[in-house]
Structure 1
Amino acid sequence: MTFKKINDHQAELHQPARPNFHVESTTRFNLCAPWYLDLDFRWKPHQHLHERGWFGCFWASYINGPAYKSLYFSGGLSKVESLWMQFCTQAHNDESTVLAHGDDFELTWEEGTHDALFKNFSRMRYAKPLYYGNVDWLVYIMMFKPGNGIRMTHSPSGGTNQAAKTTNPAWDWQFIVPKYEVAQEYSYQARVVLRPSCPREEILAEYEKWTG
């Protein structure tokens, strides 16, 4: 794996295809004023290794002892709802993953494999591919371009912050490709926003401005 600086505001992380998964990936990072980090992730499978046909990538993001462990997103329990939902699981691997409205792809895996966050699903669905959480006086927003197989994931525990006497929640995401082809490139684009806390209207405005 290599990490290189491109210029004062861009860098790139490249992982060549490895013997276990035979997948090559590249992540381009771009810092944008005043408080944005844009991500462009691309991956390419080099062999038909995964006999079930689907492939998934998982990003684990443990947050250092926030007072409020919840994520918030626009969605609901039915396909017509677009309400602000609070997402805070009670235990690891407990209704941990939120799918988009219309994401009906069912992952399959070998029987007897260990439990995992991506195997457990919330009854809630999201309407827009963005979520946010509160950290002190800041709001952390994670947003994605629409239509990219993104799933949101939460866990309440991730090690212990002794000073705050609490745990570090996981505010994660997944990228699922239901059926992949060898040598074809797959990608998604995301934006991280870390800015002073603001009303939800401004969070939605950030998303609409970025997605156009």
Structure 2
Amino acid sequence: MNWFAKNVYIFTFVLILLCGTVATSSPDGSADWEKKTSVTITNGDLSVHFRDNSASPKILSGIQSLFNTKGASGFDAYDPGAKGASAGMNFEHIISGHRSRSNKFTPRHRKYDLFQLADKDSVVLVRDRKDSPWDVSSTLTYRVTAPHYIDVEFRCRAHNPSLFGRRRWGIFFFANYMNDVEDVALNFLGIERAGGQEKWIAADAPKGHPDWNRGGTYRHIDAAPLECDKDVDFRLNSWSYDYPRFTRPFYYGRAAHGMVLILMFNKTFSQDDQIRFSLFKFKVPRYPRPAWDFQYVVNKVEKDREYGFKGRLVWKRFVSAQDCLREYEKWQRQATSTENSRMIS
């Protein structure tokens, strides 16, 4: 299936989903979508195990395990110590700026069906609006790409924006519960203060903010803080450090056994949406196992409008900070080339 056909396929499925109908085959009839509880995909150096929500929150959806068979064959990127806190690219929260019991962990409950796509290297998690207390339908697609990449695309629509309160912003929060790491810090290019020069920053989520709880969030250089209602009692993920701030939408973390996890995104900050980086240290220092997380924020939720982002996860041997930057720049060039080809065709 070529790029255009595959994307028409995914777009058509999302439209069918929003209309409340289940799709069983691709529009061109080439292959069925296979509904799965779990799928293991091996491509290039990676072996990746994906799961649906059927056993959540005891066993979380998303990436259940991630191995680089060439770099560190017996070392799972994600925390193997507790099944209820062991996953990667796990859709954990939808959060608003007003007090709501739905601000915590709702994507981990109810149906979140997993399908393997026709190319066999991709899976998609599908969330129907009726299974979301926020009345949000969404898809989260993962593609394992040689030699050591997982490409990700998230799409969502909010069908009742009033559920997000008068402030109307929404955080879509994704977690990576890491196995042992060499250094808990998130490393990104950014500035340490207003007017500062871009440099490499090792951000370790220090104490200081009144809402600090074993971690915190970093925003883009152009982004403002998210404002909450005074009675909000779940501020763990909504507040952010004033500085440092990141300038480019990627970070890396140094894992054990000489490995590195790099996360990169196709967005930074705009009037519509933004990416933010989060680091939490609930197991640190007892265990060197932080959560290297991120947030996709819709700045003002509008009814039935599609929002989303694309990203890439890299799991390979660490070379250098410059090598991590080159990985981001390469992906950015590829994305630009693909978009230009699509527009020409």
Partner Cα distance (2:186, 2:243) in 1: 15
Letter in 1 for 2:164: H
Instruction: Report the TM-score, using the length of structure 1 for normalisation.
Output: 0.90
Greater percentage in helix: 2
Contact 1:12 1:28 in 2 (8 A): yes
Task: Please say if 1:126 is aligned against 2:241.
Answer: no
Alignment-derived partner of residue 191 in structure 1: 312
Letter in 2 for 1:83: K
Match of 1:2 among 106, 113, 126: 113
| Greater relative contact order (CA < 8 Å, ≥ 6 in sequence) | 1
Letter in 2 for 1:69: V
Alignment-derived partner of residue 15 in structure 1: 127
Change (3 A) 1:121 1:94: farther
Greater percentage in strand: 1
Instruction: Using the TM superposition, name which of 137-146 and 90-99 deviates more.
Output: 90-99
Alignment-derived partner of residue 61 in structure 2: none
Letter in 1 for 2:116: K
Change (3 A) 1:110 1:20: farther
Partner Cα distance (2:232, 2:138) in 1: 29
- Alpha-carbon deviations, 1:153-175, whole Å to 9, x = none? 11122488xxxx52421111001
The count of aligned residue pairs is 208
- Alpha-carbon deviations, 1:133-188, whole Å to 9, x = none? 1112111100001335000011122488xxxx524211110011111111110010
Alignment-derived partner of residue 155 in structure 1: 280
Contact 2:205 2:217 in 1 (8 A): no
User: Structure 1 runs of 4+ off > 6 angstroms?
Assistant: none
- Alpha-carbon deviations, 1:56-92, whole Å to 9, x = none? 1111211112232111000012355310000112466
Task: Please say if 1:138 is aligned against 2:259.
Answer: yes
CA RMSD of superposed structures (Å)? 2.0
Which secondary structure state, in structure 2, belongs to the residue aligned with residue 119 of structure 1? coil
Letter in 2 for 1:12: V
Partner Cα distance (1:21, 1:96) in 2: 24
Alignment-derived partner of residue 33 in structure 1: 146
TM-superposed deviation, 1:100: 0.4
Alignment-derived partner of residue 203 in structure 2: 87
Structure 1: 5+ residue stretches without partners: none
Alignment-derived partner of residue 75 in structure 1: 190
Letter in 1 for 2:182: A
Which secondary structure state, in structure 2, belongs to the residue aligned with residue 116 of structure 1? coil
Partner Cα distance (2:303, 2:231) in 1: 26
Instruction: Using the TM superposition, name which of 11-20 and 189-198 deviates more.
Output: 11-20
Which one has a bigger Cα radius of gyration? 2
Match of 1:106 among 226, 239, 248: 226
Structure 2: 5+ residue stretches without partners: 1-111, 334-345
